[in-house]
A and B are shown apart, each in its own frame.
Chain A
Amino acid sequence: MTVAAARPPGGPGAEMPAAQAAVLARYDELAALLAGMDDRPGADPGLTAEAAPVLLHEARLLDAGRFEDWLEGWTSDAVLWLPLSAQAHPGTDQSLLLDDRRRLAERVDWRREPSAWGQHPPSRTTRVVGSIEAWAAADGLVARSSLLIDEYRHGRHQALAGYQIHELVGDGLRRRTKILVVPALGTGVRNPSFLL
């Protein structure tokens, strides 16, 4: 089901403003990218090799707390989405977060606020990226990879696992889309504000 088709604003026959239609189309695009991942064929070896250093670099920046540098790697129409399940749709289901470029920047500001107690002192994280696969996409590639995140904070430890989907575009393979699926979000995790 697509939001754009199922929920025409203003009732049947009403024409949706273009800006609003674009939002719903982006939501549908995100849901389709997530839902269709398991149907993809085996990966393209060349594109997989191209994607790997970009994914590993991102993981290194996040583990190092280099959030401003990380922010540079996003396009202006970027979306970071953390759904609560692999069946979710951003227009009908709660998400842990769905950030546009503006909220991504706010998130980096928040991480720098000394009174953001949920991340001060900050989580120490170690990301392990594996099982990288990539396929051709318009203006770039789509990559899927597995992710282990080990978090240590306040003398306590939690380990989460999941997978991430990246849409990387342009010559610099900048992040236009990132979807991070962490199944434990559906069963109960401690303060997940380290997840990016």
Chain B
Amino acid sequence: MTADSGTAPADFDYLVQPHRVHRRIYTDPQIFELEMTRVFAASWCYVGHESEIPAPGDFRTTTLGLRPVLMTRGRDGAVNVLLNRCTHRGTVLAAEASGCAKRFVCPYHGWTFAPDGQLVAIPFPADHAVEDHSTLSLGRLATATYRGFVFATLNAEPEPLDCWLGEAREAFDAIVDRHPGGDIAVMGSPHLLEFVGNWKLSWDNAADGLHATFAHESYNTLGEMVDTETVLARDPGTTPMVSKALRNGHMVVDQRPGIPQGPWATMRRVPYREPLENALIDAGDESLLDLATGSMINLSLFPNLLFVGNQLLVIEPVAVDRTRLQLWLTSAPGAPPEIDLLRLRVDEDFVNFGTPDDLDMFERVQRGLSIPEMEWIDMSRGLPDSAAPDGDATIYGPITSEAPQRRYLAHYAKLMTTPTATRAL
């Protein structure tokens, strides 16, 4: 079950240059196909959170580089990430988004698998030539967790997850540790939003500190109408907010230095805010209100997980010009219940008055990139980068710098030019 990811269809030294990138990486179906293996199968990808599958048999489905995958909790309590494909004829086993199953029975011919992927029964076994069922278990991905977040990869020789996260662990820990007891959970039923554009457009946007001033002008105007300075309304040229370009394509925008009055002060009055806010204040828990909105650290773990506000934004490529965004909301089980009740309404705020602008920009860019005579996307803002001698250290810049985009794309180009064996265990 080893696949060679083949030869590169393009010269990535040419397509991804330090100051500009070629439109083809957003429009070429062959490049997209190679990305699904060299980027998505070969990297660690976020699959889900342990809190979504608390009991043995609980499962959730998603895709990893277009491959249907299944995250399960085994009878032994261990988390498994499996290929959602019957080893008989290839039927997708679990069609539901989530559920609980003692066994996964293939609807086509009745092959039956345990939640850990072991083949436990074949109908009419006497007819069957294969006696050793262990060779017919579901394909399994290498799986590792960090702070309850489950990552998986098909890379035959994956870097340990901790090493792959590297410097990103500092922001990751800060996001988790702000929750009382370090206890963070993920609510079910994500928003699923699609756009007609390449998945990298959402990645380019994730650490783009400049677009907030222009693309999100209407969000900031809504704030001004009620004398609220939203986090996106700060002057990007002078704010002390910091962007960081990390190893392995990870990125951070740390907005905390730019909002000395704290996260909650940046929020408009969401529905039913006052009764819940007053209840917390009366209980002496006013300091917890910051938990109702985001950490003000945007952390992006390449290639598919963005921490934005209290959301996990999972990037799911569908086609070269089609992307699905899964927006999951995190909860704070160790905080008073008012926090999660407020989070639900805060969550809708940007989804309604900010995200539509981003989706529109992604689709506009994809349309513009269809023009063959205009080949290049400029990413030179903030050059030269102050790279450390070993090339691995974090690059810091003002949030107007395009260093995070440059650096993730350099990592991307490296992945795309490195044939990596991928396999199911």
Chain A interface residues toward B at CB < 8 A:
3, 7, 9-10, 16-17, 19-20, 22-24, 26, 84-85, 88, 90-100, 102-103, 106-107, 109-110, 113, 115-119, 154, 156, 185-193
Contacts and interface: CB of A to CB of B under 8 A. Distances in A.
Contacts of B91: none
B8 interface: no
Contacts of A119: 356
A154 B278 contact: no
Given A94-B190, A107-B352, A193-B356, A22 B344 contact: no
Contacts of A188: 192-194, 324
A116 B356 CA distance: 8
B363 interface: yes
A117 B357 contact: yes
A99 B272 CA distance: 9
A189 B274 CA distance: 32
Given A84-B191, A92-B187, A189-B193, A116 B363 contact: no
8 closest A-B pairs by beta carbon, nearest first, are A118-B356, A19-B275, A116-B218, A115-B217, A100-B271, A193-B356, A188-B192, A113-B218
Interface in B266-298: 268-272, 274-276, 278-279, 282-283
Given A9-B336, A94-B329, A118-B357, A110 B278 contact: no
A117 B276 contact: no
B341 A103 contact: no
Interface of B: 97, 187-196, 215, 217-218, 221-222, 225, 268-272, 274-276, 278-279, 282-283, 324, 327, 329, 336-338, 341, 344-345, 347-348, 351-353, 355-357, 359-361, 363, 367
B279 A9 contact: yes
A90 B342 CA distance: 11
A88 B279 contact: no
Contact of B195 (A103, A187, A190): A190
B275 A190 contact: no
Of listed B187, B329, B344, B363, residue having the most chain A CB within 10 A: B344
Contacts of B329: 94
Nearest to A101: B271
Contacts of B194: 188-190
A9 B337 contact: yes
B338 A20 contact: yes
Contacts of A23: 272, 275-276, 341
A185 B357 CA distance: 18
